[in-house]
Amino acid sequence: MKVCWMYHDIMDLYGDKGNIMTLKKRCLDRGIGFDLHTCGIGQQDDLSTYDLIFLGGGADKEQISLIPDLLQRKENIQKAMDENTFILLICGGYQLFGQYYIAANGEKIAGLGFYPYYTDTGKMGSRCIGNIVIDAQLDEIHTKIIGFENHGGQTLGVTKPLGKVLSGYGNAFDAGFEGFYDGKVLGTYLHGPLLPKNPDVADFVIYKALKKRNPNMQFKDLTPLTNPYDQAAREVLLTRMHIEEDK
């Protein structure tokens, strides 16, 4: 599996490296090769050659610094999506695929504009902070996704949310839904990091990435991995939030 981690050096505010570590471990445990590349500002690379593109979160200063570089890659990112490269976006990365976002200082920052959603800023410095659980349908996979959210941005106009909020805030204070998923791109505010807490989601990302070069592959074709600690940790977190795990 060939993976590109974009802006790895500045977009790793909330431990996004843990997502990459989880993907690598779950691939290698199955005997799947994991070829990780990074792509920073000014670095030349054809993103359409990758099976998975990952872009994590960062503070406003970091996001603003990469905007010129990101925007000049728009055509290449579109080519990657058209050629079935799967894209995983966390927090700031999620915001940047929309129309624009408003920074905490009121500055309007242009996004890639791939999707109609946009991100305003929380009024008077208000933020969505705390543990969150959402009920999500990832193609044929139904799962509860656990995470931690900490965002001032209020993402509005999302037409294809990732899941329904069971506990927490989501895309905005009164949104009721969290994230974005359209089959090609999965964007979310969930940190923690996301994938160690949600092995089903990690495996789903691996499956979607592998499907680029194996179009007939199905999720069930992935070799099951059993780790009692994964499930035990999930049960503890869900119990704290008074939510039952799907059986």
Domains and CATH numbers, the chain: 2-240 (3.40.50.880)
- The average pLDDT across 139-147 equals 96
Exposed, middle or buried: residue 53 (CB in 10 Å: 0-12, 13-18, 19+)? Answer: buried
Across 36-45, 120-129, 211-220, least confident range: 120-129
State the SS3 of the chain.
Answer: CEEEEECCCCCCCCCCHHHHHHHHHHHHCCCCCCEEEEECCCCCCCHHHCCEEEECCCCHHHHHHHHHHHHCCHHHHHHHHHCCCEEEEECHHHHHCCCEEECCCCCEEECCCCCCCEEEECHHHCCEEEEEEEEEEECCEEEEEEEEEEECEEEECCCCCCEEEEECCCCCCCCCEECEECCCEEEECCECCHHHHCHHHHHHHHHHHHCCCCCCCCHHHCCCCCCHHHHHHHHHHHHHCCCCCCC
- pLDDT at 217 exceeding the cut of 90: yes
CA nearest 12: which of 52, 66, 48?
Answer: 66
What pLDDT does residue 79 have? 98
- The average pLDDT across 146-159 equals 95
pTM here is 0.96
Q: Output the six-digit token pair for 80.
A: 């990657």
- The average pLDDT across 155-179 equals 96
- pLDDT at 25 exceeding the cut of 80: yes
What pLDDT does residue 15 have? 82
Confidence of residue 247 (pLDDT cuts 50, 70, 90): low
Give me the chain's average pLDDT, please: 94
Of the chain, the percentage scoring pLDDT greater than 90 comes to 84
Q: Binding site annotation covers 73?
A: no
Confidence of residue 246 (pLDDT cuts 50, 70, 90): confident
- pLDDT at 205 exceeding the cut of 80: yes
Cα 162 to Cα 139: distance, rounded to the nearest angstrom: 11
- Catalytic residue annotation: 91, 191
- pLDDT at 16 exceeding the cut of 90: no
Per residue in 36-77, pLDDT (tens digit) is 999 999 999 999 999 999 999 888 888 889 999 999 999 999
Cα 247 to Cα 237: distance, rounded to the nearest angstrom: 16
Across 97-101, 189-193, 221-225, least confident range: 189-193
